[in-house]
Each structure stands twice: as structure tokens, then as C-alpha cells.
Structure 1
Amino acid sequence: MQSKLAEFLGILTGDGYITKLPRTFQFGIVVDAIKDKEYLENYVKPLVEELFEVKTRITFRNGALNLIFYSKNIGEYITSLGFPVGKKGNLPIIDFVKQNEKLWPYFLRGYFDTDGCIFWDQRKIYTKPYPRITFTTISESLANDLKNCLEKLGFSIYIIKKNRITTLAKRGYSITYDIEFYGHKHLKMWNSLVGSSNPTKRLVLLTPR
């Protein structure tokens, strides 16, 4: 069950949140209503219900699906592991995962399935489509932790710091970090070590587009 918990924590780190209510905690996982519908309904929902023995529901709003469940005990447990309530801010990989290398692939899978992407570069400088896998986060701590874990697993990692224009920040832009690795060798390693539980992402991992 630790592997499933690690994957859930990856999902929560990517597209999830915890809210403290007067008598309980609310968990939510928000995904794209089109691209990730099958993943949320057929994988994440059963994963959560099996892992925590809770009832979940899925709501739709503004082009997104939100899987919601409530639990005081689970909220206290997950926050005791170091996961924050409210804004995730400069969230690192929590120690429960970071200190157990066997859990890294499961956490990385959950995080990739929610916050990662793969791009096939089809410029003529390449003899065949060239894969690039990228994670984007506003957390410098998370970026560095991802880099360290991936490098220890054998990947060559680059971090690119960017200023992205946004209306959500007072200064007009937000600082983000892109964690990237490239190439067919690394893609093969990823598919072997980590893979994907998201049908949309899994298809793109295997088929140039």
C-alpha cells in the first residue's frame, strides 16, 4: 500500500489540494475535463477509494473535473507527513517519499500524470521525432528534489527558471521552474522505471505526435 500512497501523494502534489474545514478536511484533485476524464474516473477514483476506504464524488466546473472526498483522520495523517493545507507554495517532496528510494517511481508517476508533459520535437535536425519530458512547478524546493531523485535514478536533468506572464501575480509574472530530460534513451528508462497510469499520457509516451 505504500506504493499506492506514494502515487497518490504525487497526484496530490501535482493537481491536488487539502482544505481544513471546522470538523474535517476536504481533499480535491482537479484535472482537465477532456484529456484526463478517463484517468480521473477509472484510475484515480478507484485508487483513492481503495487506499483510504472513503466515498468520493466528481464535480464539473469551468472545463475541469474535481474529485472530492472528506476525512478528518486522513487529513490529519497526510498533513502529519508534511503535506500542507491550502496553498502548496514552496512544497518539496515530502520526507515520507524522499527518504525511501523504492517509492520514488510511484511518486514520479503520479506527479507526471497530473503535472508533467511529453513533447515530440519533429524539427528536421532530428532523424526521427525526439522526445522531451517536462515538469513545471512554482516550487524551487520541488524542482530541486525532482532533479535529485531523477539524477539518482540515472536521468540527466536540466532546470530552467522562467518568468511567466500572469494576471494572478501582483508583479505581472510568476517564477516557474521547468525540469526537463530528453532523448530516446531516457524515454525508454522512464517507461521502464516509472511509466504512466494516465491513458492520455501513456499513449503520447509511446507514440510520437
Structure 2
Amino acid sequence: MNFDTTIIKRGRNDFSREIILPKKMDIKLSEFLGIHYGDGCLRCDSKKSDYCFTYSGDSRFDTKYMARIDQLFKELFGIYLKHEIFANCYTLRGRSKTIFNFLSIFLQCPIGPKKDLRLPLSILSKNSHLAAFLRGLFDTDGCVTLQKDKGYNYILIKYSMKSYVFAQDIHEGLKKFNISSYICRGNVHQVVIRKNSSVKNFFKYIEPKNERKLKKYKTLKKNMG
């Protein structure tokens, strides 16, 4: 999928900055989109010409991963984000009408609350793009945990989201990598991977990059023998 970036309305302050815009969907942009759907946010105050995008993490655990997000952003858009740390909150913040419009128009990132997310069709065109999207989404909004059930221990991988339709999209997307899952409905819906072979396939094909979550998986796996 190619992007006609000539239709993007650019902010007047952006002309003096070394901003670039991706020309097509690729693996890096797919992973970034997963990150944005997980922990990203678009906010706009057009009266003040303030077009803001943020990415949030935990300052106690996510320093390396936040640096990864910032570097990925630089490779895609040509600029670094501002790092803000307050208590346990680590925020990456950027302002650019040009990038804001690109995220909103071409990547279909919602402005404000992310209520009605769907898996973008541009991600479904290639399994490599889908895997990268699922990686970014897991690295930001997923978790690895241990479940004890009737004397047995299971490593669970979970995605959490407010939209049930989006949960269904993720459930179906995982099937393309022979990863079985089920959905737990609630105020926050969870896509849960429990089957041992599916957990292995998840780490084989999705290849998470968040070191904190990778370390937890390896520790749980080691403790289970």
C-alpha cells in the first residue's frame, strides 16, 4: 500500500524541521502502528494549532523499550520525541501537524479515546506486516503471566482492549501464525493464548522486543522446567 502524502496538510512550523513521511506500509511502520494502538494517543487543539501525539510507559521498567519507540519514530518520521518522566510515568511526546495528519488519515489512528479500533486492512496484506503489528501491540499493551489450574501451570499471553470487535480481529489475526486463542469478555476484553504450542509459536513468529516481557517469559519457562 502506497501513501499519497501530497494531500497531507503540513503545519507551517514543520517546514523548518527535517520531517519525513513514510511512502508505503512496511514492517517498521506496521510495528509502530501496533505500538500506537497499544499505548499511543492523538490529541488536537486546532484553535491553538496544537497537534500532539504521546506514547506512555512505566519509568521503572520500560526505559529501554521507550528508547526503542523513540528510535523507531526517528527512522520513520525523521525527528525524535521529547522524553518526560514524572513519578512512575514515562511519556514520549511529539508535536507536528504534518505527522498528526499522517497518523490520522493514512494509519486511521483515532483522535482522542481509542474506542472503536479495528485491525487496519493495510496490515492484513502481508503476514510480515501483521506479525509486526501484533508485536508492537503486545510490547505495549500485552502481558505474560502464569496460571495455576488443577495442579498444572500454564504460561498465558494476553492482549487487553476495550473493543470486543478489535479483540475478535486480533483473535483471527493470530490464527494466521497457527496461534490459537480465546476471548474473555468484560469491561476490558482479553485475547488469551494458553496452549503451549501456541505460546511457542507466538514467540517464534511475532518476536516481541520488550525486554521486560521477554525476561518474564524466560523466567516462567525456566521455573516450570
- Give the TM interval when normalised to the shorter protein: 0.7 to 0.9
* Cα offset, 1:98, TM superposition: 3.1
* 2:143 is the alignment partner of 1:117: yes
* Cα offset, 1:187, TM superposition: 1.8
Question: Match of 2:80, SS?
Answer: coil
What is the rounded CA distance, in whole Å, between the counterparts of 1:114 and 1:7 in structure 2?
Answer: 11
Instruction: Specify the code of the residue in structure 1 equivalent to 2:146.
Output: W
What is the rounded CA distance, in whole Å, between the counterparts of 1:54 and 1:14 in structure 2?
Answer: 21
State the match for 1:194 in structure 2.
206
* 2:103 is the alignment partner of 1:78: yes
Question: Match of 1:202, SS?
Answer: helix
State the match for 1:90 in structure 2.
116
* Cα offset, 1:159, TM superposition: 0.5
Instruction: Specify the code of the residue in structure 2 equivalent to 1:73.
Output: T
Deviations 1:21-69 (A, max 9, x none): 333521100111112122102x111111111101311112342110011
Give unmatched runs, 5+ long, in structure 1: 163-174
* Cα offset, 1:102, TM superposition: 2.6
* 2:170 is the alignment partner of 1:158: no
Among 73, 79, 98, the residue aligned to 1:48:
73
Question: Match of 1:102, SS?
Answer: helix
State the match for 2:27 in structure 1.
3
Contact kept? 1:195, 1:202, Cα under 8 Å: no
* Cα offset, 1:99, TM superposition: 3.7
Among 68, 76, 89, the residue aligned to 1:64:
89
* Cα offset, 1:90, TM superposition: 1.6
Question: Match of 1:51, SS?
Answer: helix
Give unmatched runs, 5+ long, in structure 2: 1-24
Question: Match of 1:143, SS?
Answer: helix
Contact kept? 2:143, 2:158, Cα under 8 Å: yes
Question: Match of 2:114, SS?
Answer: coil
Give me the TM-score of the superposition, normalised by structure 2: 0.80
Contact kept? 2:177, 2:201, Cα under 8 Å: no
What is the rounded CA distance, in whole Å, between the counterparts of 2:195 and 2:61 in structure 1?
Answer: 25
Instruction: Specify the code of the residue in structure 2 equivalent to 1:3.
Output: I
**Aligned pairs, number:** 194
State the match for 1:167 in structure 2.
none
Question: Match of 1:150, SS?
Answer: helix
What is the rounded CA distance, in whole Å, between the counterparts of 2:39 and 2:90 in structure 1?
Answer: 11
What is the rounded CA distance, in whole Å, between the counterparts of 1:47 and 1:151 in structure 2?
Answer: 27
Instruction: Specify the code of the residue in structure 2 equivalent to 1:21.
Output: D
